[in-house]
Amino acid sequence: MTQHAPVLIVLLPLTASLLCMLFSRISKNLGSWIVMASIAGAFANACIVLDKVISSGGKTWHYWMGGWAPPVGIEFALDPLNSILAVVVTFISMMVALYSRPFVKDEDWLHVGGYYTLFGLLTVGLSGMIITGDVFNLYVYLEIMSLSGYGLIALGGRKSMLAAFRYLLIGTIGASLYLLGVGYLYSMTGTLNMADLAARVVPHLNSPLFAIAVACFIIGFGIKMALFPLHGWQPDAYTFAHPGAAAFIAGCMSKAPAYALIRFVYYIFKVDNPVMH
């Protein structure tokens, strides 16, 4: 089973989140415990991945979804940096999921199940953004992270509804800009795989279309990571978010987009490449 550890990092909490409401209807706390167990499983698999990457001398672990080789198929690419981040994110998620229990213990099954469904999906989105090796797949995980984050912020109370709606509007602009940048890169290179993109984008590094794509990425990720002056949504969102999830939202939700931007700049665009100068 260890050969499937990369996909289990996202598959376990995804499956548990989709089933959470059903099990919560059967027993109020059952769904939440299943989600917490799945996050613990994701953490264990992230540790397995990190151990294998380190033991291989830092060699990147390429996991092909469904056995389809890139650039046609989707892959997870795990190097020492994002393997460490996957361990950190899943560990923080596991701890905050336990910390959240007292905040929802008096709620009915619908609110408990809904909270842990969104919490599990937020873990899926953050983990997927970190380990994916496909730029469009990154957009999918970015949207999973964002939509679940909006929901967790909205669960904080009456004032949180406006904060979540403001974040939704601004965050949608950021995600749309990222998707637009992906479209520009695809039109230039004909690929969505990050490793393949890094090789094919070199002849286009000085083109105006590439400059527009980079601007879309910087602004889009800048909104998601609350980079000044694109941080207007952040104070209210963090202040009025659900108290159980606030630590996870504040601790990780803006960090995954920051890592994604680093990955684009240094791993795909290779800013230290002589062609860039």
- pLDDT given at position 1: 62
- pLDDT given at position 181: 94
Give residues with Cβ within 8 angstroms of 243, minimum separation 6. 103, 156
- pLDDT given at position 254: 85
- pLDDT given at position 272: 67
- pLDDT given at position 190: 87
Give residues with Cβ within 8 angstroms of 195, minimum separation 6. 70, 77, 133
- DSSP label of 263: I
- pLDDT given at position 276: 43
Mean pLDDT for each consecutive 10-residue tract of the chain (277 residues)? 86 94 90 94 95 90 82 86 93 93 85 92 94 92 92 85 88 93 92 88 88 92 85 81 86 88 87 51
- pLDDT given at position 275: 44
- pLDDT given at position 158: 77
d(CA 130, CA 122) in angstroms, rounded, equals 13
- pLDDT given at position 123: 95
d(CA 246, CA 262) in angstroms, rounded, equals 25
- DSSP label of 64: E
- pLDDT given at position 195: 86
Following DSSP, what letter does each residue of 143-211 receive, concatenated?
HHHHHHHHHHHHTT-HHHHHHHHHHHHHHHHHHHHHHHHHHHHHHHHS--BHHHHHHHTGGGTTSHHHH
